[in-house]
Amino acid sequence: MKLGYGPAGAGLIAAALVAVAPVGAQAESSGRNLALSCFSCHGPAGKSPDTIPAINGKNKAFIVKEMVGFRDGKRKSTVMQRIAKGYSDAEISALAGYLATVK
């Protein structure tokens, strides 16, 4: 069954949904969602009890620097380079912003 919205209608609906949420809340939600995958290795809420570094409560600028370093190949790692390649600057910023608030 076709609803008949087409690309233009879908774009208008998406724009309306984005306009409803404030930018800060949207970034926080995005960062929180992105962080969920981090917690599988870095421990619950980023509090790693093992050799993988804890990432909770780190300074946002530090997290951005490290993630961009991994993504751009300037910081070597067996796993993080592959993971970070999938993140845009905006996603890294949102992720870092959220992780900086996790205590």
Question: Is 70 exceeded by the pLDDT of residue 4?
Answer: no
Torsion of the alpha carbons at 59, 60, 66 and 69, rounded to the nearest 10: -150
Instruction: List, for residues 22-53, the tens digit of each pLDDT value.
Output: 455 665 678 999 999 999 999 999 999 889 99
Return the closest-CA partner of residue 96 out of 71, 69, 70, 59.
59
For the full predicted model, state whether its pTM sits above 0.85: no
Alpha carbon distance 77, 51 (integer Å): 14
Sorted by where each starts, the structural domains of the chain and their CATH numbers stand as 24-101 (1.10.760.10)
Alpha carbon distance 17, 98 (integer Å): 21
